[in-house]
């Protein structure tokens, strides 16, 4: 990051929500030249990508494993590990560097439940934050409201931690092969986020698929990268042109003579 610009992505979500599956699917798509609109240029962490994608490679006589990725565990419980990926956008040839953290879901739970934010200092440099939501939970009528409420609590924690200066937020709904988010659920999620003074976009993905005839593995991953690297539609003014009141401000030199 000291030698060139890197787009740092924050990735949050409960255990088993699909955070590591997103990274594994992204890597496998890139490795097979199947990430629409993007091509691979470089990675400083190929071994780490291989480690998280190994489960998806180990099939028994053509039968996929019960779990494509393993639960994330870090040797250092105080700071995340980052995966690096350099991509080239095919539309204009622009190279883009991504830094992607693979952190345990328990960190997100601790942030929501007890405001333990010390390990998330890197989010202050993030261009975008993915809040990964398990589509299977949203499909469950008995569990979905709890998850929606936790989304609002997480956004509130982020707002406090980042001093009301949130980067772009993406609600990443996994398991698109099992659950297709509808307008009513979209409205409920957006309402919860807006109630906390923020805005977000929803992206549905299927890193892997139990029903490939309905939803192909890797569905939505390219769109997730596109959304992550597109600019937010609204940005705060870097320097306001007028003072907030009539006090003695340097900008008063603009007053009419």
Q: Model pTM?
A: 0.83
What is the rounded CA–CA span in Å between residue 156 and residue 109? 13
**pLDDT of the residue at 76:** 54
At 174, list the tokens: 């996994």
Q: What is the pLDDT of residue 214?
A: 78
| pLDDT, position 212 | 84
* pLDDT at position 161: 95
DSSP secondary structure letters along 163-224: TT---EEEEEE--TTT----HHHHHHHHHHHHHTT---EEEE-BSS-S-TTTS-TTBTHHHH
Three-class secondary structure of residue 130 per DSSP:
strand
pLDDT in tens, the chain (257 residues): 888 999 999 999 999 999 999 999 999 999 999 999 999 999 999 999 998 887 555 544 444 545 545 544 545 566 788 999 999 999 999 999 999 999 999 999 999 999 999 999 999 999 999 999 999 999 999 999 999 999 999 999 999 999 999 999 999 999 999 999 999 999 999 999 999 999 999 999 999 988 888 799 999 999 999 999 986 544 445 444 544 554 544 444 444 44
């Amino acid at each position: 990051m000291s030698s060139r610009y890197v787009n740092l992505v924050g990735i949050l979500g409960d255990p088993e929500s699909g955070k590591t599956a997103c990274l594994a699917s992204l890597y496998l798509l890139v490795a097979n030249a199947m990430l629409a609109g993007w091509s691979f240029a470089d990675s400083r962490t190929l071994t780490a990508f291989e480690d998280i994608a190994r489960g998806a490679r180990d099939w028994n006589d053509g039968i996929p494993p019960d779990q494509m990725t393993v639960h994330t565990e870090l040797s250092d419980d105080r700071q995340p590990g980052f995966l690096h990926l350099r991509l080239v956008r095919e539309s204009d040839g622009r190279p883009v560097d991504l830094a992607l953290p693979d952190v345990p879901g328990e960190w997100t739970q601790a942030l929501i439940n007890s405001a333990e934010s010390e390990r998330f200092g890197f989010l202050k440099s993030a261009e975008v934050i993915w809040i990964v939501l398990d589509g299977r939970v949203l499909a469950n009528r008995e569990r979905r409201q709890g998850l929606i409420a936790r989304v609002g609590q997480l956004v509130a924690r982020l707002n406090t931690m980042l001093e009301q200066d949130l980067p772009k937020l993406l609600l990443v709904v996994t398991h698109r092969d099992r659950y297709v988010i509808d307008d009513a659920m979209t409205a409920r999620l957006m309402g919860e986020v807006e109630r906390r003074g923020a805005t977000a976009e929803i992206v549905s993905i299927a890193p892997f698929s139990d029903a490939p005839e309905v939803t192909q593995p890797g569905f939505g991953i390219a769109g997730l990268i596109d959304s992550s690297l597109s600019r937010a539609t609204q940005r705060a003014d870097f320097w306001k042109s007028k003072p907030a009141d009539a006090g003695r401000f340097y900008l008063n030199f603009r007053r009419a003579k």
